[in-house]
Structure 1
Amino acid sequence: MSNNDLEKQIQELNTKIAELALIVSLKTKEMDTIEQRYTDRIRILNEYLATVRAGLNIESQEGHIDDTTFIDKLRSMSHNDDIKDYVLVPTKPLQMNSMKNPKNETKTKTESEVAQNTQHKKAYNIAVNEPTYNRKKKISCSYCNEKGHKRSQCPKILYHEA
């Protein structure tokens, strides 16, 4: 390869890196706005619960409920697959720890829970989703007609390839 070709490739890589950096910064801003909306909604719900408790003359319980433990309690309920006609409302304000530590993900279901859930759905003839690796083979892009990705993830659009 000549120096001209090498310089062109380096320039192309630099522009693609700049584009990716721009995309990352835009997504970061978008995530910040989503996080702000989420915290605002939780704050509004906590204020609403406080007014409901005050209106019903319910004594305020001390402390907060950790959001990760609240989610785990909801998942551990015995009838979590049934469709419910009611909503569970916490009696204490919800403290958002998972938003403060984004790397702290909530616990995922164990393999036995997933297998039990799949068997339950099969028993009632509910369509069980295919694993993602099988689905990815069937997905075709509407832009380039290649299989394996969606239009939103098409490299020809993302990297401005002709």
Structure 2
Amino acid sequence: MCESSNKTENDIVRLSQAMDVLAKLIISKQKDGSQLQVEYEHKLKELEKFINLLLGLHESTVGSMMNTSVLDMVLRNGIEIMEKDDQKYALIPIKAKEEADKTTSTIQGVTSKKSSKKKKNKIKCSFCHEAGHTRAHCGARLTVIPKK
């Protein structure tokens, strides 16, 4: 009986160590993934700055800027290559600055509306029966001196 319980304990220890190694591996992979995402977003922003600078240099494209949401999708699926006069060109999605301004103002308008519509807590406290807090945060209960 003692020998079988000893084997069981050894199995549990080995299983625990294997789970520990697996958990550490998962955590390291998650960190790598988040780091890659940060790097990708940084590179996308730098690319956006560069392309917008190029678009601003030419008079016919002064009112245009890069469409980042579409570009992100294009980069994930592959950039379309076009050939003209024996020269290959990569197509980059652009949009008018007016559209970009409308999009950003709409996004900003939506966020401000959400923050102004905060609902008040309707929960009643089970100690003092007042609305707005729970028993755990009840000032009346917390100020009562407990009997010894």
Higher helix share: 2
TM-score, L = length of structure 2: 0.47
**Whose Rg is larger?**
2
Instruction: Select the structure with the greater relative contact order (CA < 8 A; seq sep ≥ 6).
Output: 1
